[in-house]
Structure 1
């Protein structure tokens, strides 16, 4: 199936997310790492844009025309994106990687990995978008 078109069997499920970024190269490096670790594959590439796909859902990164506006997840608008991880071990691995990267930071260290009441990584992208990687319930 061509994933650029709607699938009526996936009513209400996320089709794609498009993020405009101020620092394209840094963002592509970060998002390429994050999405690849979560099972996405490179979809398309063009001047000022990249996309990654996982099943019917894809994520697009585009260089913003106006890169002077600062992003603040605490103001009205998008606060965070949450992704399924395949295990607690994957959450732990992503946490180690996020800590080792210069363009990311782990949030809520004092409560990690249960900051939201479940096993997850909360981290920030290079420009401050909060991301979650959520482990499945270990009981089944």
Structure 2
């Protein structure tokens, strides 16, 4: 039987490549990612486990901006080490004037997260689940 062992990468299309490249480069530098590769119309980052790529949308795609609630992408969650890391991410987002749609809080039992938007309105999340259930507080 075929078995999935992980998610290798995510690729998203953006309306303004340079603007999104600058946004994601700041975000991923803060999150400990490095550039994996860059081509004329695409760039990817990795932390050794997760790969995230962006590429510019074509002209037809740019006619249909993303709207939360449409069929398709809802949000992408980055699992962080601790609740403190979620708080540190929120502080970084505030310093960078990134729109925060749901501030750092416990959204489900022992599920702590902050939700924010990229330049095209794609929803992203930094989260930590299960920290209170671990003896060392690191989940």
How does the TM-score come out when normalised to structure 2?
0.81
Matched, 1:115 2:104: no
Structure 1 unaligned regions, length at least 5: 1-7
Structure 2 unaligned regions, length at least 5: 135-139
Count how many residue pairs are aligned between Structure 1 and Structure 2.
Answer: 129
How does the TM-score come out when normalised to structure 1?
0.81
The residue correspondences of 1:1-140 to structure 2 (distance < 5 A) are 11-66=4-59, 67-102=62-97, 104-109=98-103, 112-117=104-109, 118-139=111-132, 140=134
Cα gap change, 1:11/1:127 in structure 2, threshold over 3 Å: closer, same or farther?
same
Please list the CA deviations of residues 71-129 of structure 1 after superposition, one character each: whole Å capped at 9, or x if unmatched.
11211001000111112221111101212223x211134xx412355211111111111
Higher strand share: 2
CA RMSD, aligned part only? Answer: 2.0
